[in-house]
Each structure stands twice: as structure tokens, then as C-alpha cells.
Structure 1
Amino acid sequence: MDRHRYALVGAGGRCRMFVDAIYGSYAEQAELVGLCDISAQRMATWNKFLAETYEAPPVQTFMADQFDAMIAQTKPKTVIVTSTDVTHHEYIIRALELGCDVITEKPMTIDEDKAQQIIDAVDRTGGNVRVTFNYRYMPTFSKLREVVASGEIGEPTLVNFQWYLDTSHGADYFRRWHREKRYSGGLLVHKSTHHFDLVNFIIGAQPETVFAMGDLSFYGEKNAKARGEQYDFERYQDLENPMSDRFGLDLRDDMLKAIYLDAEGDSGYIRDRNVFGGEKKWPITSEDTMAVSARYTNGTLLNYTLVAYCPWEGERITITGTKGQIEYFGRGAGHLIAGQSEEELAAQQYQGEQYIRLQKMFEPAQELEIPEGKGAHGGGDAILLDRIFNQNAKNDPLERDANHHDGASSILLGVAANKAIETGKPVQIADLTRECVR
């Protein structure tokens, strides 16, 4: 079997999943032939990682402005895009124009104009774009899709979707470039694209009308002053002990040091920004508290909330239909409480709760078996990677593989929500682009 040739652009932490798949489980079917990034240091780090972990020869590397040269010299069949969100469209479109298919991290892009450019490029070139929505492949969420598609709850009429990020996970978005909408579209695009895609996927419809409200209620200098948090430093590396701060991040730890701290000289990227400070250099323009209402093309209504500073992490998804209701609840492990040691936390932390509850009209509720998933994102990553790299993969009856239209539909709900927050008025998805939503 000829190995499928891949090139990868964006050598930050997110590329690790794809690198490990190519050199691990799918080494006989896949080959990484080129690596492209703004930082030579990062690319050197990954080549060192490949040598030490897989005893592999170095991959040919190219700077960001040498993307065309990479394609010409290494001749990949598919380009994997894991760069900063705002640059996704540039690499997706150029890869298509140079005759490659594309696998891109979510979000596909950050605004309606860039989404339309990608749609046009696919139509113009006939290439293929796949968006890596790993949540679709999580067995738990696949189960929701199965139940709704089976008609057991009738026609879906209302989705209540609540997602809670804790002060470990949620804060990390405010340490990184994600805090600035000009790079990420804000959390309503970067993070919520996962959730909006899940809703689109589960109910089999597209968003139509969107209204939203949102605030920066926890992070940022103003909120820190009000609560007496320490805010008068730009990054955690400025502290003698970065982990002395409850929101700190220590970049001197292994891979973080190699691909971020050591790469600051040629990348210019600061990975450990103070979530309560440094706003003069790196303004916080993303909200941390969001509420969205939407109407879908099939009449289903959506109530969605995202909070990025909870004391616990988890989600609740309730889908009500004309014949019943299905609900998923998941709660992750607890997190360090002020004054607790790591050992005390390990002894006292939550054991992760979850259930799927189905109740049909006029019948008792029943607990459905939680499908088992192994690995990251509840098992979703492993299934996604198999769908991408396994050349012998069979057709998926759940149709979980997402294309550029799916990618556009999910980000447009977030884009519309951002516009609604800015204007205080409902936004029609159809007014944003010509044909992004099928």
C-alpha cells in the first residue's frame, strides 16, 4: 500500500495529535513529508521529538512564507492545518489551489468573509476540505445523534445546551492568543464552534436567526481590581514562581518550554499571558460569559450558554421533541481548592458523573448505557483519527465526517452571536454570506 503523503502547517501544541497518529498507529499508511511554521525553533523541536520518540528521520521544514515551495518540493496529497485560527483560510485556500486536499482544525475560520472565500475555493478547485470536529465522534454524543435520528423523541423542538469550563481549562484561553477576537473570533467562534456543530449535527438542521448577549465578567484587569486579584504583571514568567498564582502557567516544563518559551525569539508569541493583566499589549476582547438564542431552519429553538470560569467542568444537553426528551449530563473531576495539596485533591476529587436519560411522553424515564470511549475527548480523537488516516475505513452510518459546509455553518452561528452582542439586535444567518449554509 502506498503511504498517503501529508504536509502540516502550524507547529504548536495542537499538531501533536496528528504527528503521533502518522508515526504511530498509521505509520504504514501515512507519511509526513513537510512541516511549515513561523518558528524554526518549533520545527526543530518536533524533528527532535520524532527522532527521540519514533527513531524517525527529520522532516523537511519550511518557514511560513515558503508554503508554496513546501507543496512544490514535497508533493503532499493532503495538507493538515493547525495554525492560528485567523490564518486557516490562507493555507486552506492556497493548498486547494495547489491541488491538495485539506484537513483543518476547528474552527475552519473566524468570520463570514473568510468562510465564503473557502466555499468559493472548494467550488473553484474541486478539492476536499475536512474539519476535525472530534466531538462528533465521542460515543456519548454519537448516541444522542442516534436517538434523535431514530425519531424516538419525535421532531426536535428545543435544545438547551450548557457548557461549563473550569478555572483551569477556561483560564487557558485567556493566557493565549484566543483572548483576542481578531485572532480567534472569541470563544463564541473558537470554542463554541464545537458545540454549535454538535447541535447542527444532532438535530440535522442549520441555524437561521441568532440573538446573543455576553460579557467579560471574570477575567481582565477591571474584574481583578474589583476582587483584589493580582493583575499588575504581564505574564506568569515574570513571577519568581509562576505556579504561586492560582491561574499561573510554568513554561519551563518540557514541551511547553521547547515549543513556546524557547521559540519566543522567532515566533514573537507569548503563551503565558496574565489572565487579569497585560491588556495594553494583548487586549482581552473575548467574552467569558455568553448566552445565545437561535432558531433553526426546521423550527427548533436553541438556548446556549458558555461560562469560562466555573469551579467545576461539565455540560448538560437536553433535547426536547414532540414525543419525548433526551438529556445528557457530564461532570468532570474536581479541581484544586485554595489551601489544598495535590494529594488532598486526589483523595477528595469528584469521580466524574455522567448519564444519558431518555423519557418518552407518558412513559417512565430510562437510563441509557453510556457508550465506552477510550482516549482523549471521551474517545472521540481516536475515532476521528481512524476516519482520517485509515485508508480502509468503511462508510460511517452516522455520517460524522464534517466538510467545509459544516465548518462554515458552525462558525456562522458564533459570528452572528458576536454581531448580536455588538448591536443588541437579532442577526439573520442568510445576511452574512451568499451560500455558506446549505
Structure 2
Amino acid sequence: MKKIDTFSHYRDGKSQMQRFLTELDPSNLELHDFDLFDWLLFANNFATHVNYFDKNDATTPNGTWEGFFLGADDYSIPRRESVAYKSLKKEVTELVAQFEKDGSLTPHMTLFICFIKLMDFSKKALNNLTKRHLDFYYNEILQIEKQDAKADKVYVIFELAKKAIQERVPEGTLLDAKKDATGKKRVFKTEKELIASQAKVVELKSFLNDKTKKELKIARAVNTLDGIAEKLPETSNYWWPFGYNSNESKPDKSDFKELENAKLGFSIASSLLNLKEGERTVTVTISFRDNGTSKLAALRLDEIENNIKLFYSGEKEWVSGSAIRCTVNDAKSLVLTFTLTKNFPAVVGYNKEVLGGTFLTDFAIARFMIEGNRYYDLYEALAEKEIENVVIAVDVKGVK
């Protein structure tokens, strides 16, 4: 089984505070950022340049002062962003903490560390200078007034008890959200009335219109491997909520199977289509309003004919097999003609129990299904058109 790329598809989402740029925070830039470790490292390295003189000989150096801090080990100063710096900082910090815990820190080091920790007070005051300068500029120079505080807003999910059918949540209902980080109690209030019920999402389907690849794909169940019923592998932690094109289903890219093409078209229901016998010729003239582009007129007549398949409401099933001819195709109208021979089955009124579907009519139906090599171009051309009128003309010969 192929390993699915979880990095490029997994989305954890971000809150409003997570979108805040740290560069805009005045505390992001510290004028003075030395901590205890940095001072110890600085003092140790600086001590290597300070000569030590014995009390009996004030003219001849007797080593340096480095032994008074971290010892004579090679504690060179690495770059802060390097791994060596982080590793050394951890080592020295743990060493000092152990000395403080054991009480084995030498007197001179104790005084030095106390002095460094006292410097933190001046360090904080210095680092606050940037914020105070910014506040002064906004408040005193630009005189920008701060906006009033706004109440937090949240989305709340209500889940009913198993035996409850529905419950009313009145407008203004108070919801306890416990306490915030400062210990203050948080209470939210509903903005409008809600009738909570046991309604749940049963199916998740998708329709994808990929204009680049000229594909129309559907998924009857989006949270599956094939868009129908095949379960996702255990290693997969994502699926496509809006569908995917044929590129995603290539074997070298992922385990997802290619989605089926969408079944698109249009249907016409009329009592005139109730044609049971004889040679039946039907002409459908569709008039369009003057809107959209000329994509439909740009298609040849044979391209329209070869990308439409006809189905009729029969007595036991949807019947097909008749050819369709396109005689007029311009910006304002589309004329389609089809002939049913004497031997062609009878076209009868639509029976939902027999034929299935969701048509709300008892009239006979002609279904114009868009399929073929240029199906996308025909779909795109028809989809942008607004129908003004449909005229059906029927010519029957050889009726007994």
C-alpha cells in the first residue's frame, strides 16, 4: 500500500490569535536579551583575556581568570541559532542548577550569579522601552483612540440526550464556559432561538467542475477511496470534501480511484411526447435569452449530435436507440430533431414506481443526456444559457 502524503493535505486550522504576526508584537524585539547562561559564557570567555597575578608577584602574570567561572574547558561562544549553542546552554544550565541544589556553589560564583539575577530588573525595564515608545507615538503623537472591547463569539454544538426528540433553546440562554486564564468566569449568551433536534448528516456528496482539465466528476460518498463505497486505508487521514480530478487517481500519486463522470443533461415532459406507434418525428426548439457568450454557436452541429444521447419513458424501462439531429444552432436558439421508427417501443407517461427517479410529473419524458468526447464543452455552453421558451412539434405517420 502506498504511503499517503499527510503533510501537504492535513489541515489543523488556525485561530485568530495564531494568525497574529509576532513581528508586530513590541516584545518580539528585545534590546537586551542576555540571560544567566549568556553572562556566564561571556564572563568565562572574557576571563581568558584577563591576567591573574599572584599576591607575591604583581608584575608577572600567573595564568588567567577563566578558572573562576566555568573552568578551563573549551567553552567557546557558538552562534545562537546553532545546535552547539543549545546543547551547551542545556549543559551549563543543568550544571548550575545542580550546584544550587547541592549548595556546593562557590562563594564568588554565588555573588556573581546573584548580581546577574538582579540585573534582570534593569533588563526588563530596558526591553519595555520599545513598547513605551510605540505607545507614546500612537497615543500622544498620532492620538489614536483605542477601540472599545468586544465580546467574544463562539460556535456552540448542542447534543441531545438519546431519548430526547427535540429541545428549544431560547434566545438569550446563558452558557457556562468555566473560567479564563485569569480566573474570571466566562458566560456566553445565545443570539437567537434554536430548536435542537436529532437531525444528522447522513450522506456527503460532491460535484467537481474542473475547468482546466474539462472534467465533471461526482462522488456519491466523499469520505471513501473511490467516491462510492470503498473504505479509506488506515494510513489515510484525509479525504477530498469537494472531489478531485483524474490526476489525483494516478497510481504513482495516491491510492484514490478515479471518480465517475457526472451524469448531466436536461429533460422535457409533455403530453405531446406520449407517442405509442407509427413513425414519430419530434422537433424541439429551445429559445434562449440574449445572455452569455457564443460558446454554443461555436460548436458544430455534429459535435452537438454526437454528444447527446436520448432516453424516453417506456412502459417497463427507459428506452433509447434513436438518433438525434441538430438543424439550428446559434446564439438565440437550438433546434433538435429525432425520429422514432415504427418498430421503436411506445413512449408513455412517466411512472416513478417503474422507472425510478424524482420527476414530479405524469407526462411522457424525453431525457437529453450529455455524454461523449466533447461533453464538457456542450455542458459549459448550455449551462451559461438562460431558456426563454421551449416549443415541441410532433409529426406522426402510419398510425393504425
TM range (shorter): under 0.3
Choose between structure 1 and 2 for higher RCO, CA contacts under 8 A separated by at least 6 residues: 1
Larger radius of gyration: 2
Which structure carries more helix by proportion? 1
TM-score norm. by structure 2 comes to: 0.21
TM-score norm. by structure 1 comes to: 0.20
